[in-house]
Amino acid sequence: MRARISLTCFLLFASGYGAALAKPQIVPPSAQAFKLGSLQVFALRDANNVLDNDGKVFGVGVGPDAVARVLKDAGAPTDEVTLSVDGLLVKAADRVMLFDTGLGPSVKGALMASLTQTGVAPDEVTDVMITHSHGDHVGGLATAEGGLAFPKATIRMSAPEWAWMQAQPNSQALAKIIAPKVQTFEPGATVLPGVTSIALPGHTPGHAGFEIVSGSDKLIDIGDTAHSSIVSLAEPDWAIAYDNDKDEGESTRRATLKRLAEDHSLIFAPHFPFPGIGRIETAGDHFSWKPETP
C-alpha cells in the first residue's frame, strides 16, 4: 500500500517554521482565464492560508505592532494576514503546463476542482513546473493514497531545489513518490520552449521563478519572492520566517520587485489575492500592487 502523505508533514514543510503558524482555509474552486499571445492561461484557486499577526512570520524582528500599522494603512484587518494559495495552468499547442500544485488533498485544496473547470484532466498535464518544494507548492503532486496526481507529467524543478528537497526529513516521503518523474534544470536555464527559469534564491536554496513568453507577450511567475501583496511590498526589507536564508531573501525580494516595477512586467504571484495577476508599481522607497488580468 502506498504511503499516505500526512497533513502535518505537508504543513511543517510548507512553512519551514512550524505547522501551527498556518491555518489553511477551504475555498470554492475557481479558474480565471486569459490569453497570453497564443497561449491559454488559467489562474487556479487552491486555498487560503491565514496567519496570525504575532511577529512569528511577518515582521520578524520588528513586531506585530509595526505590521498592524502597515495593514491598517491598506484598510486590511490588523490581527491576521491572509495569503492565497494558487497555481497557474498554461495550455500551448503541444503542451499543458501546470505551475505549482497547491497544498493538495490532505487539506482539501481546491486546485483539482479548479483544474476541472478548465476542461483539463490530470492525465492531460504534460509538465509540472515547480518554483520550490515547500508543501503549499508541491503538496498537490501526490494523491491522498500516495500516487502521482499527474501521472503522465514530467515534474521540473531546479537542481539545487531537488537536492534540498530530498535532504529535508519532512519531504522525503513525497520525494520518493515523484522521483521517477523529476527532471532538473539549472536556475536561469530555458526549461521548455517559451519558458525560462529565473534564479530567485533565499526563500529556498533553489527557488526559481518562470518567464513565460508567447509572441510579444510575457508573464513572470515570481513564486514566493513576495508573499503578502500588502506587507511584502510596503516593507520588502522586513524578514519573513519562511525564507531559508533571510538576508538573501530580503535582497532578492527588493532587487526583483525593483526590476519588475521598472519593466512594468505582468506577473503571477501565487500568494497574492486570487487570481494573483497584475503589476508591481513603485511607491516611494517601497512598492504597491496593481491587479490586472489581460
Give backbone dihedrals phi and psi of 234, rounded to 5 degrees, phi first: -70, -35
Write out pLDDT tens, residues 226-244. Answer: 999 999 999 999 999 999 9
Q: What is the number of other CB atoms lying within 10 angstroms of the CB of residue 147? A: 10
Task: Place 126 in a pLDDT band, splitting at 50, 70 and 90.
Answer: very high
Task: Place 293 in a pLDDT band, splitting at 50, 70 and 90.
Answer: confident
pLDDT of 13: 42
Amino acid at 73: D
pLDDT of 7: 39
Task: Tell me which CATH homologous superfamily contains domain 7-287.
Answer: Ribonuclease Z/Hydroxyacylglutathione hydrolase-like (3.60.15.10)
Write out pLDDT tens, residues 76-117. Answer: 999 999 999 999 999 999 999 999 999 999 888 999 999 999
pLDDT of 107: 87
Q: Give the mean pLDDT of the chain.
A: 92
CA distance 278 to 290: 6
pLDDT of 21: 60
Task: Place 23 in a pLDDT band, splitting at 50, 70 and 90.
Answer: confident
CA dihedral 169, 172, 173, 179 (to 10 degrees): 180
